[in-house]
């Protein structure tokens, strides 16, 4: 198989009405002007490149480019023809409703931005070819669909449940309304041999103490006498097996395999596999991919009963404590995702994540994302692309979703990092929000998706929704959820709401933090940088996506959270931003450590979220410009595979515990000291058993405001953490002094202070 890249220079034209045209010449005759652009791309970015619109991310500009939603857009290019037994035109991402013309002939249409579209062009190519893609406005396309009584969503994103594109595009509390269009992923020609491998999937069927049984499934277009041989190598270990290509499945044993492990629990060993379709000695087709030998299960109770229940990922028979984050859109304009991906993934590794939750309001990530997680031992929780709404239940929508799921599952199922499929994000809750009745009647997550997974990926866990309101929960109440999202009043981070949750696993929890002032100045008008009160630019970047007030409280939310810890919010920008970042950092550190300090009973926490997809004030711990907030550093220390933590006081004592999320015993030397005095409160040595939580020592607790430093050394190297003792309100100036003394003040504050 060979691939010819058709990305790069294209041309685009646009109009609010669509003339009947199938070629670029016909569009030019109708008065349209084509301008140069680059594919992959987005319509608004093309407009910005030509100076037709300003940067949509600055000030209130996003509101002023809403007219772009109403446009018909045409993308065109010419290319040389090729020959082959089978030639396919592949669009990796078309956003969204489109018609594709080749030399004036309609090849077909597209109605899903989330999956590739492939057209057989064998025998249709000339020496010189014209490709024209007509993309219709989403609102116009959705209006042509029958209205569904099953749909429920926010007023400002009414088209969202009908259109198979990233849900956030229609506006969210973390993203602007940017109902974009374009060829957002590459376009290519794929030339394939007559006899070829159509589909291939290698998985671990069973894992024993001394070996594994691997299961291979494939589809091949091949005649009699062909064989399929699969060979894999990892360091000095190898395996091989061969099957008649006319079959569709087979199993084989692998002796003494090198297993794939999540980060901290062992090495993420990967076999480099080559699958070869042969006739005798002649090679007909070849596939190469990575394979991780591992099993994954989700030990899950339907509900907490008398306080007991479970929700835990089990890899190779070992219960994994999940430390991680939610992965939200890398950019409001997804053609830029890939340019941001590597830096974003490096952040996840830097703060010791062993799990990432791919949120259902997003696109399905690039292959490079999953390759990275495979290589770095990061488990992936993968939502299907539905979020915070109820979706059509008719047969046509079921078929659209099934086709999408089949394409996504076939693309991603080979990755050992993929731990669980989840039907949607908060879709079950949406049934209550929008008065749609019992979510267990949702045919999409209870029947359509399970049927696809039974065919395509039967060994991987599946959860219908997050949180999942199964019939038992509907009967006994949500306090019995084993897995939950914890948002609530967004008040003091140690309020009863946060302290009393009984869930074993939290897959969303967040707390706002202000970007650094240098970042604010990059997306706010100079006269709008401060103050935030009554400031439309702060509100839009709050994010209140269409300025209808739905999320207008998110700006004031930061001030309330500052007051909850410090009693009052500073009135100047720099101290306000620092105070906000301190509060966010302490809150997220507390959420993480609250759960880690109950390791065994608790099984994981995925905080919201790592990185912003546009410039805003948010729960993200790294802003859109990759400037880290203080919370990033606090989380990095709290999520070390071996972490020493101070628990909340009990019976007048404060207890130090060690959470060891590795599979080896770790000797440690530790010391807890008061930063103000330097005096040691406790010190000692201990050996922390593998995969355990061990109480180390305790000392008397009082109500005084103190900043305790926790230092230790182990075979993993030196470690440091801290604990903020006492009850609010704290003195902001005193806390700032603690940061200065320990050397944790952010660089932007130090630079401003030196001027």
The single-letter DSSP state of residue 445 is I
User: Helix 630-638 vs helix 573-596: angle between axes, to the nearest 10 degrees?
Assistant: 20
Residue-wise pLDDT for 658-682, tens only, equals 999 999 999 999 999 999 999 999 9
pLDDT the model gives residue 330: 98
Number of continuous H segments (helices) and E segments (strands) in the chain? 19, 37
- DSSP assignment string, 353-390: -SEEEE-TTSPPPPHHHHHHHHHHT-EEEEE-S-BSSB
What is the distance between the alpha carbons of residues 112 and 402, in angstroms, rounded to a whole number?
12
Angle in degrees, 0-180, between the axes of helices 573-596 and 732-742, rounded to the nearest 10: 70
- Give me the residues of the chain with pLDDT under 50, please: none
Strand partners, 644: 658
| Residue 59 CA: distances (Å) to CA of 170, 270, 539 | 19, 46, 10
Cα–Cα distance for residue pair 50/43, rounded to 1 Å: 11
In this predicted model, what pLDDT tens digit does every residue of 684-714 receive, in sequence order? 999 999 999 999 999 999 999 999 999 999 9
* Helix, strand, coil percent values for the chain (each to nearest 5): 25, 35, 40
By the 8 A CB rule, do 459 and 413 touch?
no
Q: Which domains does the chain carry?
A: 2-191 (2.60.120.260), 194-291 (2.60.40.10), 321-533+561-638 (3.20.20.80), 642-754 (2.60.40.10)
Q: Which two tokens stand for residue 141?
A: 């396309």
In angstroms, the CA 220 to CA 243 distance is 12
């Amino acid at each position: 198989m060979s691939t010819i890249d058709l990305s790069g220079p294209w041309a685009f034209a646009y109009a609010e009405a669509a003339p009947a045209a199938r070629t670029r010449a016909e569009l030019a005759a109708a008065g349209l002007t084509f301008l140069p652009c680059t594919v992959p791309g987005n319509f608004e970015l093309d407009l910005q490149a030509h100076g037709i619109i300003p940067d949509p991310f600055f000030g209130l500009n996003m509101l002023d480019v809403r007219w772009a939603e109403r446009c018909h857009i045409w993308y065109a290019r010419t290319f040389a023809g090729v020959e082959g037994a089978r030639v396919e035109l592949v669009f990796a991402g078309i956003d969204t409703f489109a018609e594709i013309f080749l030399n004036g002939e309609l090849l077909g249409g597209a109605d899903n931005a989330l999956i590739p579209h492939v057209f057989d062009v064998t025998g249709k190519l000339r020496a010189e070819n014209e490709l024209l893609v007509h993309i219709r406005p989403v609102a116009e396309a959705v209006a042509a669909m029958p209205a569904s009584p099953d749909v429920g969503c926010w007023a400002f994103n009414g088209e969202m449940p009908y259109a198979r594109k990233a849900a956030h595009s229609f506006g969210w509390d973390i993203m602007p309304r940017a109902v974009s269009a374009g060829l957002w992923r590459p376009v290519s020609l794929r030339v394939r041999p007559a006899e070829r491998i159509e589909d291939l999937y290698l998985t671990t069927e069973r894992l024993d103490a001394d070996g594994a049984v691997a299961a291979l499934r494939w589809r091949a277009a091949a005649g009699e006498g062909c064989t399929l041989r699969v060979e894999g190598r990892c360091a000095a270990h190898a395996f091989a097996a061969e099957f008649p290509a006319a079959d569709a499945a087979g199993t084989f044993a692998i002796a003494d395999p090198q297993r794939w492990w999540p980060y901290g629990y062992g090495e993420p060993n990967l076999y480099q596999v080559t699958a070869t379709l042969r006739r005798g000695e002649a090679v007909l087709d070849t596939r190469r991919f990575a394979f991780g030998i591992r099993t994954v299960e989700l030990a899950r109770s339907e509900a907490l009963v008398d306080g007991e229940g479970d929700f835990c990922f089990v890899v190779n028979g070992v219960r994994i404590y999940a430390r991680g984050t939610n992965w939200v859109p890398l950019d409001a304009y997804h053609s830029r995702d890939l340019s941001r991906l590597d830096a974003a993934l490096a952040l996840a590794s830097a703060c010791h994540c062993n799990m990432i939750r791919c949120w259902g309001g997003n696109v399905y990530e690039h292959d490079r994302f999953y390759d990275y997680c495979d290589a770095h031992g990061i488990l992936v929780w993968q939502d299907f692309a539905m979020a915070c709404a109820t979706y059509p239940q008719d047969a046509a929508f079921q078929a659209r979703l099934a086709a999408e799921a089949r394409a996504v599952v076939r693309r991603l199922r080979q990755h050992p990092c993929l731990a669980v499929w989840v039907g949607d994000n908060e879709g079950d809750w949406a049934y209550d929000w929008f008065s749609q009745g019992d979510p267990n009647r949702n045919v999409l997550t209870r029947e359509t998706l399970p049927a696809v997974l039974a065919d395509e990926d039967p060994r991987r866990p599946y959860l219908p929704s997050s949180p999942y309101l199964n019939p038992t929960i509907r009967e006994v109440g949500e306090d019995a959820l084993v897995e939950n999202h914890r948002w609530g009043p967004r008040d003091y981070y140690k309020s009863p709401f946060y302290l009393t949750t009984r869930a074993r696993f939290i897959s969303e929890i967040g707390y706002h933090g202000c970007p650094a002032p240098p970042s604010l100045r990059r997306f706010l008008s100079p006269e709008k940088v401060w103050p935030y009160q009554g400031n439309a630019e702060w509100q839009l970047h709050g994010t209140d996506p269409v300025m209808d007030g739905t999320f207008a409280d998110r700006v004031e939310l930061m001030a309330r959270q500052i007051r909850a810890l410090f009693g009052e919010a500073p009135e100047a920008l720099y101290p306000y931003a620092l105070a906000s970042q301190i509060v966010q950092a302490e809150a997220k550190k507390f959420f993480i450590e609250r759960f880690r300090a109950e390791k065994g009973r608790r099984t994981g926490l995925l905080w919201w979220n790592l990185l912003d997809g546009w410039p805003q004030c948010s729960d993200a711990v790294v802003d859109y410009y990759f400037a880290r907030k203080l919370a990033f550093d606090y989380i990095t220390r709290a999520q070390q595979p071996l972490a020493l933590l101070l628990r909340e006081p009990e019976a007048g004592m404060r207890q130090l515990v060690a959470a060891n999320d590795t599979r080896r015993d770790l000797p440690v030397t530790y010391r807890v000291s008061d930063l103000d005095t330097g005096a040691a409160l406790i010190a000692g040595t201990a050996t922390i058993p593998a995969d355990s939580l061990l109480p180390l020592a305790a000392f008397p607790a009082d109500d005084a405001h103190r900043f305790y430093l926790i230092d230790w050394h182990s075979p993993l190297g030196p470690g440091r953490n801290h604990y903020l003792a006492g009850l609010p309100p704290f003195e902001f100036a005193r806390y700032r002094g603690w940061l200065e003394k320990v050397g944790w003040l952010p660089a932007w504050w130090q630079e401003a202070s030196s001027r």
